[in-house]
Structures are given as C-alpha cells and as structure tokens.
C-alpha cells in the first residue's frame, strides 16, 4: 500500500510543479523564440542533477528513525503550507490559481522585455526566466522525490512517479500548444496538501518512536482525519466569507512556489 501511495503522491505533487514550470517556459518560447528558452531549461535540469547527486549519497548515512523524524517534520511544514492556501482558495479568501491568466501575464512581460546577448545565449532574458522557472519548481520536485524515496527506501519508485508526471504534463503541453488551464490545479493542490500533511504526521510520529495501530493501514486513517479536518475548515471559512460585505472580485495571484 505504501508503494502505491508513494507513487501517487509524488506523481500528483510533481504534476502541479511541472504545470507551473511549463507555463513559464511556454510563455518565453512562444514570445521570444525557443533556442534560448530551451538552453535555460537544459541549464536548470543540469543544476537539479548536480543537487540530487550531491544530496542523495548523504542520506545513506542517516539512521532511519532520525530520517523519518526530520523528513516527517519537513513534509508536515511543507504540506500544511499547501493545505492552508488550498483551504483559503476553496473558501473564497484567496484567489484561485489560474494558469491561463498567469500565462497571459508572463507572455506580455516577455514580449515587453529587452533583448541582450551573453556568451552563447542569444536572449539572456528568455534563458534566465526559463532557467529560474525550471530550477525553482524543480527544487520542489527534488525535495519530494528525495524525501519520499529515502524515507521509504525506494528512490526508484519516487523517481518513477516524478518521471511519469513530467512526461505526461510535457506531452499534454506540447499537444495543446498552450498552458494546461483545464487541469484542476486547485483541486490537485488541495489533495497534495492533504497527502503531504498525512505522510508528514505519520512518518514524524514513527521517527519519534510512536507505533501506529494497524501499522501501515493507519496511514489511511490519518489521511481521512486530515481530509475531514480540512473540509471542515473550508465549510467554516465559507460561512465566514459569506457574512462579509461583498467587495471587488479577487485579483488572480501571481506565480508562486507552492
């Protein structure tokens, strides 16, 4: 069960990050040309490969109990951040994440920017923007893959989930030749926030020496409790939001690392 959940969580989380990175790269490539954009993507992937190569060997020497405690704490912090924003979006207190609007804004900014050549890069702006987009979103992918894979002792499974997500999103983006605005990203972030929070709670408690009743099966109970709690907060906040004085519609939020 853990293996299946591992692949599912990594796939969903990495799919969200891949969609956001794809939006940036598409906007740059369409507006300014693909050569420098692709160079930026390649440089970002190379930087991520170096980071993974540097981090992975050190995890072998960390005791499993300490690793689960640290990873569980990090996942809990990470997951609660996602879940908090997802709850605020679902209840109306925060604008929904709109990839089409973000794409249009990135496209306009890219078209308005000047063009500078540096070394072998024809368009430094396009290179830098693509590099930053891939690196920042990729770092979250690396964090998810390394933490889940190392904690479960199955880096290959985590890499498999991430690889499938990146391939699916990339192929879909190329097929539609635009941002994946129809992907239910807000719902995905809500689900990923629940799963990361649940795994963080489960592993953190195990790392601290707790023993869950039912062993791995208890994880399903943790997920159910976190889900019900999150939905309860959404319901309460929706009521609070409904009692507020109506104001102007929320502005679509800018691209952010979530």
Looking at every residue in the chain, the average pLDDT score rounds to 77
Which residues, other chains included, contact 29 with Cβ-Cβ below 8 Å and sequence gap of 6+? Answer: 37, 38, 126, 130
Structure tokens at 170: 């990339």
Helices (H), 177-247: 185-207, 218-242
Tell me how far CA of residue 143 lies from CA of 42, 51, 56, 200, in angstroms: 19, 10, 11, 13
Q: Is residue 229 part of a domain?
A: yes
pLDDT reading at 84 higher than 80: yes
Beta bridge mates, 118:
121
What pLDDT does 141 receive? 82
Percent of the chain with pLDDT over 70: 78
| DSSP 8-state code for residue 117 | -
pLDDT reading at 52 higher than 50: yes
pLDDT tens profile 228-239? 999 999 888 888
Mean pLDDT of 178-198: 75
Four-CA torsion 21, 233, 217, 203, nearest 10 degrees: 60
As for how many domains the chain has, the answer is 1
pLDDT reading at 26 higher than 60: yes
Q: How far apart, in whole angstroms, are the C-alpha atoms of residue 208 and residue 175?
A: 47
pTM: 0.66
Q: Determine the angle formed by the axes of helices 2-32 and 34-55, rounding to 10 degrees.
A: 150
Neighbours of 103 (CB within 10 A): 21
Q: Is residue 252 part of a domain?
A: no
Concatenated DSSP letters of 192-206 = HHHHHHHHHHHHHHH
Q: Is residue 161 part of a domain?
A: yes
- Name residue, tokens 């000047």: 114
pLDDT tens profile 189-240? 888 888 888 888 888 888 788 888 877 778 888 889 999 999 999 888 888 8
Q: Is residue 8 part of a domain?
A: yes
Query: Residue 40 is part of which domain span?
Result: 2-242
């Amino acid at each position: 069960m853990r293996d299946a959940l591992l692949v599912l969580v990594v796939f969903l989380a990495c799919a969200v990050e891949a969609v956001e990175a794809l939006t940036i790269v598409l906007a740059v490539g369409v507006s300014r040309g693909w050569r420098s954009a692709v160079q930026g993507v390649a440089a970002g992937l190379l930087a991520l490969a170096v980071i993974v190569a540097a981090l992975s060997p050190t995890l072998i020497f960390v005791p499993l109990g300490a690793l689960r405690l640290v990873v569980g704490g990090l996942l809990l912090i990470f997951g609660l951040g996602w879940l908090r924003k997802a709850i605020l979006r679902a209840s109306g207190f925060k604008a929904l994440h709109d990839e089409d609007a973000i794409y249009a804004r990135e496209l306009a900014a890219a078209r308005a920017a000047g063009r500078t050549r540096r070394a072998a890069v024809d368009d430094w702006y396009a290179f830098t923007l693509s590099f930053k987009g891939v690196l920042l979103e990729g770092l979250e992918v690396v964090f998810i893959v390394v933490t889940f894979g190392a904690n479960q002792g199955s880096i290959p499974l985590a890499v498999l989930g991430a690889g499938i997500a990146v391939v699916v999103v990339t192929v879909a983006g190329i097929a539609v030749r635009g941002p994946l605005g129809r992907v239910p990203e807000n719902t995905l972030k809500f689900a990923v926030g629940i799963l990361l929070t649940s795994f963080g709670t489960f592993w953190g408690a195990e790392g601290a020496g707790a023993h869950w009743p039912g062993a791995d099966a208890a994880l399903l109970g943790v997920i159910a409790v976190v889900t019900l709690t999150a939905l309860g907060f959404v319901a309460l906040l929706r009521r609070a939001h409904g009692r507020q004085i109506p104001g102007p519609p929320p502005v679509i939020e800018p691209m952010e690392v979530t």
